Structure 1
Amino acid sequence: MRGGSPVATGPEQVFTEDLRAVAERVRGLLEAEVPESEEELPAREAAAEQIGRAAREERAKVLGAGVRGLEKLAAGRADDIDEDEYFGVEAIVLLEGRPAILVQGQDFASQQGDWALLDGQRPGIRQSIARVGRVEVSGHAGLDWLGTGFLVSPFAVMTNRHVAAEFAHADGRGGFVFRQGMGARIDTAEELGAPAGDGSFEFDVTEVLGIHQDVDMALLRVSPASGGGGPLPSPLALAADAPPDLVGRPVYVVGYPAADGRRNEPAAMSRIFMDVYNVKRLQPGTATAFLPDEDGAGAGAGVRAGAGFTMTHDCSTLGGNSGSPVFDLADHRVLGLHFGGRFGSANYAVPLFELTDDPLLERAEVNWV
C-alpha cells in the first residue's frame, strides 16, 4: 500500500479470507444500503440531511473504488490499480480489516468477516472497555481532554508521560504536582450519543504518583468523583510475561481516536468516518514486531519505548489514543501502553511485561498477572 493509512499492513496480510470474498462482501453492503426517505423535512433538517447524504455518497464512491482495487489485487493486477482504487482499498482495510468500532453502552456491535470472532470474546472485552477512560482536564488554555488512561491498580490509572505533562510537572523535590489552576479526571463513558451522566463513570485524579523518566508513562492516583462518583472497578490485569507467539498475535486497543490532519486526503477520510471522533472505540489488530530499542523501532524511525524493547501493532489508532492499553485478545491482559505511531509504518507501545520490577509500577501496586 502506498497511501497515508495508519494501518501499515497491506490487505493481503490483514485479511485471512480471499480478497475476492472481501470485495464481494463490501459490494453487498453497499447494495444493501437503505434508500433515502422521500418525506419532506423542515429546512434546517433538510440541510443536515443533504450534508449527510453527500457524505454517504462520497463513502460509497470511495468503497466502490476499493472493491475494484481488491479485485485487481486478487487477480494479480496490482500494477493496474489507480490512485482512487488504492485509496479505496485503504479505506476497506480501515473499515473492515482494522476497524475502529464505536463503543456504546459499554458494548460494541457484532462485526462481519475476520472480526466476527470478537463476539466470542465479548464478556472479556466489555470488562476491558469499562476500565478505560478519557483523560479530561480543567484549566488548560486550549484543550478539555488530552488522551486515554486505564485502571491498573485499586487506586491508579496509567497514561502517557506526554499526556500527564500537560497538567503536571516536577516539584523539584522528587515528586510531581498539578500545574497552577489545573485539574484532571478520568471519564469512562465518553461515548457517541451518550446522555449527560450522573458522574458515576468519572474518577477524579487526586495525585500524580509519578511521571516516568525513561518510559512514556505516567501513573495517576484516582478516587470516585465528588458529588456522585461510584466505586472504582477492579483493575485490569497487566501481563507479567510475554506470550511466546507475540508477533502476529490478535490484539485490541480501547481509546479515544481524534481527528488528525496529517493523514493523506483528510477531507475524504473524514467523510469515511463521518467526522465521528473523540469518543470511545474498540480497535482490533495484530502485534507486528518486538524490537530492541537501539533499533529505533524500525530503521530510521527514531522511536523508542525506553523499556529496552518496543512493541509495534497495526490497530488503527489516531491522535487521542495516546495512553491506550494494548490488550491480548486471548486473555485480555494488557500487553502494552500505546504511545504513538507513524502513518504507513507502525504504531508503537511500551511492552509492560518488560517493567515488572520497575519502582514506579511497584509503588502504584499494579495488577500483574
Structure 2
Amino acid sequence: MISRARFPESTEERAERVIKEIKKLGLGPAAAPREAGGLESVAPKSPSLQEVEQRIEWNLKAASPGATELARAVANKTAREGLDLAASLAGGHVSHRDLNAGQLANLEAVIQVIGRPAWFVEGDAPDTSAATAKDDFWVAYINTAQNAILDICARVGCIMVGSAEPFVPVATGWLIGRNTLVTNAHVAGAVARQNAALAATDVRQGWRLRTDRPCVVDFRFEKGGSKHSRFALDEVLYVEGGDKPDLAIFRLKPPTADAAGGMPSPIVMDLKAQSNGWAKRNVFVAGHPIKDLADDQNVFKVFGELDGTKRFSPGCVLELLGTDVLAHDCSTTNGSSGSPLVDFASSKVVGLHYFGRPGARNEAVLLSAIADHPAIVRSQTGEWGI
C-alpha cells in the first residue's frame, strides 16, 4: 500500500498505546474495569497461553499449510513471549525501552490476535464460529448490530484487475452514491493513469481508466463463496491530486450477467460534526486484505491466509489527528485501503481507511471533516450517478 500517512507515531506514543491496550484486554495485573452498564460492562477475560498459541498457530497454518511444525514453534514463542512481556509491562517491571524490535513485534501480535480479530465474512456476516470467551465483547456488539452489519458488508467490494478468472485483488471500495464507488487516491494508480497534458483543462484532471488493465468490483468476494456480484469500472470521476484527503471516486457500469441481485445501494455516511470527541468509540472495518508486500510474519499471525476475500475487523478509535484524520486500531493490511470505518453505535461510515501497517496505528479520513468536499457533495446529490 502506498503510504499517505501524515501523522507518524513516535516510539513513546506507540509504547503508550500498547500499554493501554494490554490493560484494556486484561493482560496485566492493572487491567482497568469497563464502565458499568450496557455492552461496555462485558469484562475483559485474560486468555490462557494455550488459547493464544492455538489461534496464532491456526492462522500461520492457514497462511502456509505445509509448515505445521514451524507454525507450532513460532506460535509457542510468540504467545509465551508476548504474554510474559504484557504482564511485565502492565506491572511496571520493565520499560518499553528495554524491548528489542522482535519482542515488541511479538507483543503487538498477541494484542491483535486477542483483541483485534480479523474474521472472514460469509453471506455478508462475520464468521465468528471460531470465537472464544475472549471474543465475547465484540460478539455482543456484532449481535446487537447484526442487520446493519449485513447491509454494510454487502455494499463493500473488492477492487480486482483482470479480464477473466482469476481476477487479482488490489484494494477495497464501497458505494458512496448511486453507481459510484469510493476508494483511496493512492489506489487509483492501479487501475487508471493521469495524462498530464489534459490535466489543466480536464474536469477529471486527466485521469482515465487503463485500457491495458481492466478492473471489476466484486461485492460478494468471500471465502469459499461461489456467487459473485461484479461490476466493471466505467469511468474515473475524481482523484485527489494533493496529499489529502486520500480520496478517489469511480463510476460503475450497469450490472453484468454474473452480478447477482443487481447494484447494491449506497452506504449511509455520518457527515455531521461531532462535539463529544472520537476517542474510545467502537468501530469496525470491512475490507479485502491481501498479502503484505514485506511478507511480514506478524501479519500472518493475525490474519492467516490473505487471499483478498472479505474480512470484518473490529476495534476502537484512538484519537483525532489534526482536523481530518481518525487514528484507529482495527486490524488491516495491504488491500484494506479504501475500506469504510463504521461506527458501531450509529451503523454509519465515519471514515475512509487509507493507511495501516503492523505495529503502527491506522489512519482514516474523517468524513465529517470533508463533508463539503466537491467529490463528497456530488456523490451525495446523485450528480455522478446514471
Q: Which runs of 5+ in 2 are unaligned?
A: 1-8, 32-43, 59-63
Q: Deviations over 1:49-107 (max 9, x none)?
A: 65235324422332133222233334332359865654432122111122222222322
2:118: which partner in 1?
100
CA distance in 1, matches of 2:16, 2:284: 16
Letter of the 1:118 counterpart: I
2:327: which partner in 1?
312
Establish whether residue 88 from structure 1 lines up as the match of residue 124 from structure 2.
Answer: no
Q: Deviations over 1:17-66 (max 9, x none)?
A: 53248784233526889xx9xxxxxxxxxxx9652353244223321332
What SS does the aligned partner of 1:348 have? strand
Q: Which moved more, 1:22-31 or 1:324-333?
A: 22-31
CA contact (8 A) 2:54 2:75 kept: no
TM-score normalised over the length of structure 1: 0.77
CA distance in 1, matches of 2:377, 2:54: 54
1:299: which partner in 2?
none
CA contact (8 A) 1:185 1:204 kept: yes
Q: 1:323 to 1:8 in 2, by over 3 A?
A: farther
Q: Which moved more, 1:69-78 or 1:19-28?
A: 19-28
1:39: which partner in 2?
none
Matches for 1:21-40 after TM superposition, within 5 Å: 24-27=46-49, 29=51
CA contact (8 A) 1:101 1:282 kept: yes
* Residue number among 312, 317, 320 corresponding to 1:290 in the alignment: 320
What SS does the aligned partner of 1:25 have? coil
Q: Percent identity?
A: 27
CA contact (8 A) 2:82 2:107 kept: yes
CA distance in 1, matches of 2:151, 2:81: 38
Q: How many Å apart are 1:261 and its aligned residue?
A: 4.5
Q: How many Å apart are 1:330 and its aligned residue?
A: 0.9
Establish whether residue 124 from structure 1 lines up as the match of residue 152 from structure 2.
Answer: no
CA contact (8 A) 2:181 2:252 kept: yes
Establish whether residue 334 from structure 1 lines up as the match of residue 334 from structure 2.
Answer: no
CA distance in 1, matches of 2:77, 2:346: 39
1:109: which partner in 2?
127
Q: 1:269 to 1:57 in 2, by over 3 A?
A: farther
Q: Deviations over 1:155-213 (max 9, x none)?
A: 11101111123222346232342123332211122222323x3x4x2122222222233
Q: 1:53 to 1:276 in 2, by over 3 A?
A: farther
CA contact (8 A) 2:282 2:314 kept: yes
1:296: which partner in 2?
none
Q: Which moved more, 1:270-279 or 1:117-126?
A: 270-279
2:21: which partner in 1?
13
CA contact (8 A) 2:174 2:183 kept: yes
What SS does the aligned partner of 2:80 have? helix
State how many pairs are aligned.
Answer: 331
CA contact (8 A) 2:239 2:247 kept: yes
CA distance in 1, matches of 2:293, 2:53: 31
CA distance in 1, matches of 2:80, 2:313: 23
CA distance in 2, matches of 1:366, 1:56: 54
2:158: which partner in 1?
134
Establish whether residue 177 from structure 1 lines up as the match of residue 208 from structure 2.
Answer: yes
2:277: which partner in 1?
245
Q: How many Å apart are 1:269 and its aligned residue?
A: 4.8
Q: 1:14 to 1:114 in 2, by over 3 A?
A: farther
CA distance in 2, matches of 1:359, 1:52: 52
Q: Deviations over 1:221-251 (max 9, x none)?
A: 1244322313112210111113323122111
CA distance in 1, matches of 2:23, 2:268: 29
Q: 1:270 to 1:344 in 2, by over 3 A?
A: closer
2:191: which partner in 1?
167
TM-score normalised over the length of structure 2: 0.74
CA contact (8 A) 1:154 1:234 kept: yes
Matches for 1:148-167 after TM superposition, within 5 Å: 148-167=172-191
Matches for 1:181-192 after TM superposition, within 5 Å: 181-192=212-223
Establish whether residue 59 from structure 1 lines up as the match of residue 75 from structure 2.
Answer: yes
Matches for 1:165-244 after TM superposition, within 5 Å: 165-170=189-194, 172=198, 173-175=202-204, 176-195=207-226, 197=227, 199=228, 201-214=229-242, 215-229=245-259, 230-243=261-274, 244=276
What SS does the aligned partner of 2:20 have? helix
CA distance in 2, matches of 1:118, 1:7: 29
1:355: which partner in 2?
370
Letter of the 1:25 counterpart: P
Q: Which runs of 5+ in 1 are unaligned?
A: 37-47, 293-307
CA distance in 2, matches of 1:268, 1:357: 39
Q: Which moved more, 1:328-337 or 1:223-232?
A: 223-232
